[in-house]
Structure 1
Amino acid sequence: MFRRRRASVLVAAIGVAGALAFSGCAAGAGDETAEPTDGDVLPPIMVQLDEVDGTTVEVPLDNVIVLQGDDETYTAWEADIADESVAEFTPGRDDGSASFDPGITPLKVGSTEVTLDNSETGDSVTFTVDVVEAG
C-alpha cells in the first residue's frame, strides 16, 4: 500500500510536469526563447541520490531540488549545508496519504557544499549547489 501511494504521487507529478511542458511548447511555438509567465510553475530539478555525489547542481532561485531514488529510507536523510544562507534542506516525510522525497530549497544566489547522510543505511553523498538568478 505504501508503494502505491508513493507511485500515485510520482504519477501525478509526472502528469503535471508533462502538462506544463506541453502548455509551454504550445505557448512558445516558433519562439525558441519562450520563458514562463508569472502564472506558470516550473517543474522541480530532479536529482538522483545515487548519481549526485561529487557533482554540482544548478538551481534557479525560484525553483527547488528534489532528491530521488531512495524508496525505502527517504525519511532518514539528513543534510549538512556549509552555507545555510544559500540553501536549506527539507527532509523526506510521509503524511499518511502521500510521501515526499527530501529536497533543497534555494534562499539566495550563491554556492554551497551539501553533505547528505542516511542514518539508516550509512550512505553519504557530497555535492555543490549553485543557486542562480531566476529565469
Structure 2
Amino acid sequence: MPRTRRTGASVAVLIAAGAFALAGCASSSGTHETHPATASAEVVAPVIVDLNDVDGTTVEVKVGNVIDLTGDDETYADWGAEIEDESIVSFTPGRDDGSAQFNPGLNALAVGETEVALDNTSTDQTVTFTVKVVDND
C-alpha cells in the first residue's frame, strides 16, 4: 500500500481532531463564539521517522507528541518494540483496519531519554535508536 494512504489517514485524523475542537465554539443558536484557548490551539504534526534511516540516531520529540515510523509499506504491522524506559515512550503497533493502514509509532509520555529497539518479525530487521523527549517550552 502506498505511504500516501497511511500519511493521508494520519493527516485526516489531525484535521478531524482540529474540527472537533472548533465545533465546541458553536452555541445552540447557530452563532459562533471564539474562545481564546480554542482560537490559539494548534494541531501538532507528528515527528516522521523513516525506519530505514533511524538506526543509531537520536530522535527528539516534544512530550505529548508522537513519532510516526514510516518506510515499510509491506510489513508495517510486523514491527514490535523493546523500550528501555516505558515511562518515557510507549509503542503503538502498525495495523490495517480494513479501510486504512496505520504505521507503527511511539507516544512521547514524559520528559527523558530512552533506548528503543524495533524488531520486524517478518524480515528479521532490527533498528535501535534513542528517543529524547523534551518539554513543550
Structure 1: 5+ residue stretches without partners: 21-36
SS of 2:133's equivalent in the other structure is strand
Q: Paired residue for 1:76?
A: 78
Aligned length: 114
Distance 2:94 2:56 in 1: 22
- Give TM-score, length-normalised by structure 2: 0.75
Q: Paired residue for 2:27?
A: none
Deviations 1:6-62 (A, max 9, x none): 633424656879xx9xxxxxxxxxxxxxxxx75211110000000000000000002
Where in structure 2 are the equivalents of 1:19-98 lying within 5 Å?
38-98=40-100
Between the aligned residues of both structures, percent identity stands at 53
Cα pair 2:80 2:93 within 8 Å, conserved: yes
- Give TM-score, length-normalised by structure 1: 0.76
Q: Paired residue for 1:7?
A: 4
Distance 1:58 1:51 in 2: 15
SS of 1:113's equivalent in the other structure is strand
Moved >4 Å (runs of 4+): 12-17
Q: CA RMSD in A?
A: 2.2
Distance 1:125 1:9 in 2: 21
